[in-house]
Amino acid sequence: MNFLKIFSAAVLVLGASQMNAQKKGTATPKKEVPQQKKQVDNPTKCSNIKEGTFLRTNYPKNLWYMTVKDNVQTEYYNGGKDYVKSSMVFLDDCNYKLIVLEKTEKNNPIKVDDVFTNKVVATQDNYIKIESKIAGDKYDLILIKLKENIK
């Protein structure tokens, strides 16, 4: 029994000394270099979505990319083999509807005549954040506008 008491006391003292050593080790503050975060565009550059080639930040180019020209948006999948083509109807500078015109992949849940309501909510240089809604579901997409066309 005495051994257990002595062992417990030793563990307690050892733990306290470790905590004290850690506190001393962190007592000297680190010098931090202030990071300047680039601000979003103000006002939002909604016209950036009206023409160009776009990638999603979380998809590689061979899985998904999108082109926009003459109010037609075409999303390419599977290395460009499959696509969904939609008409863009602008309600104002930052809000537009996508009406699906055609698609090639039968397993894609998007259907011809589906209507998406989209809003450009923010831009920063060549990045565009879009809020997309369909049938009560909402999706946030971040696109990167490329300087040159793919293909």
- Tens of pLDDT along 73-119? 999 999 899 999 999 999 999 999 999 999 999 888 999 999 999 99
- Quick one: pLDDT at residue 62? 87
Question: Is pLDDT of 13 > 70?
Answer: no
Q: How confident is the model at residue 58 (pLDDT cuts 50, 70, 90)?
A: confident
In this predicted structure, what is the pLDDT of residue 125? 93
Average pLDDT, the chain: 83
- What number is the average pLDDT over the span 2-7? 46
- pLDDT exceeds cutoff 90 at 3: no
Residue 8 confidence (pLDDT) above 90: no
Percentage above 90 pLDDT, the chain: 63
At residue 29, does pLDDT exceed 60? no
Render pLDDT for 125-148 as a digit per residue (tens, 0 to 9). 999 999 999 999 999 999 999 986
Model confidence, pTM? 0.72
3-state secondary structure the chain: CHHHHHHHHHHHHHHHHHHHHHHHHCCCCCCCCCCCCCCCCCCCCHHHHCCEEEEECCCCCCCEEEEEECCEEEEEEHHHCEEEEEEEEECCCCEEEEEEEEECCCCCCCCCCCEEEEEEEEEECCEEEEEEEECCEEEEEEEEECCCCCC
What is the mean pLDDT of the segment spanning 61-78?
Answer: 95
pLDDT score, position 12 = 45
Beta bridge partners of 54: 66, 145
Looking only at the bridges linking them, the beta strands covering 137-145 and 82-90 are unpaired
Alpha-carbon distance of 141 to 129, in angstroms, equals 6
